[in-house]
Amino acid sequence: MSTHNACVGRAREAFLRVFGTRATHAASAPGRVNLIGEHTDYTGGYVLPVAINLRCAAVGRITYGSGPFRAHAADLNQTIEFDPRGTPDQLPRGHWGRYVAGVIAGFIGRGWDVPTIEVSVATDVPMGGGLSSSAALEVAVAQFVSGICGQEIDPREEALLCQRAEQAWAGVPCGVMDQMAAIMSREGHALLIDCRTMETQHVPMPSESDAALVVFNTNVKHALAAGEYARRRAACETATRALGVESLRDVTLETIDAASSALSDHERRCARHVVTENQRTVTAADALRSGDLAEFGRLMSQSHASLRDDMRVSCQELDTLVELASACEGVYGARMTGAGFGGCAIALIEPSKSASATETIAAGYRQRCGRDCSIIPARASAGACCVAV
């Protein structure tokens, strides 16, 4: 059974058990890995994510009553009541329900007549692993609401609505990459996103006979992650103002060097990462189009080094995975993916060497870090959709 069907099935079964009736509508959305282009989306840069074969599902029905909205998380066995016309404070900070309520609130804010609903959600996307479990949840709920209301929304507007829900209701100052990848991805392709113009291009991924994309979850998430993400974003914003430009897209390394006295060391490093990462991302998309996997792998490795040394968002566990992968025969390249300080690393590997490389990486990680990593063979998958119940 595919993860899509498995998720919908779990959410449907939980809905029947908890709410005592069958769901009438269902939708699902994928997680994603970012191949390259990290900490560039919130600066209006380029990113190259790919939706993967792990999904989140939302199923439910209209209640035709005046009672509260209700949501159930099948994997946590938690049920909540909420008012999407209220404030985020009705739910605890960090609670999964804030994402659900925030998305519904976004549609109401657009003037949609959203009826009172009950919804159940289930996910195969690891929470806190850097595979965008939050965006998968937001987009699955958005697709569900669109379906239950019988209305359509422009994909880019849907992505922005979900982004605003995460910012306003969950308090996460995220960019829009994750939501766009969850909505607009195409099977067998990566999605090159210009986060300033919101323009997208579907970039063909190598076939499964040419390369295997493997995700390694460190199974750690360091407590400083959220605060340090916000600090990196703030540093990019202050650097942009100090340089007198609209976006870091508008500067070069020479510009940064010439204005070094106006920037703190932290701001300079963050700006340097963004400028070089944008260049790498565009070049990497060209390498994928031409099938130059060696060049693509080289850019992955450069990206990780920049995230480690300039942006300083890596950690021992991520560095260990990337170092182990880079030493394996048949690995084109490896890098951390996501915001950092834990979560996942990815590797692009020759298919004939994938099994042995994966085994070597897992064994080395266990020996050096004292824990197991989770291994997820990834496949470039389609974006969100409504499904039959």
* Positions marked active-site: 178
Q: At what angle do helices 155-169 and 97-109 cross, to 10 degrees?
A: 130
Q: Beta strand 331-337 with 342-349: parallel, antiparallel or unpaired?
A: antiparallel
- C-alpha 75/C-alpha 173 separation (Å) is 26
- Structure letter (DSSP) for residue 130: S
At how many degrees (to 10) do helices 265-290 and 225-243 cross?
100
Contact in structure between 211 and 293 (CB atoms under 8 Å): yes
Q: Give CA–CA dist 299/281, Å, rounded.
A: 8
DSSP state of 41: G
Please say whether the dihedral angle defined by the alpha carbons of residues 173, 219, 57 and 27, taken in this order, is positive or negative.
positive
Distance CA 49, CA 185 (A): 9
- Of 223, 221, 230, 275, whose CA–CA distance to 253 is shortest? 275
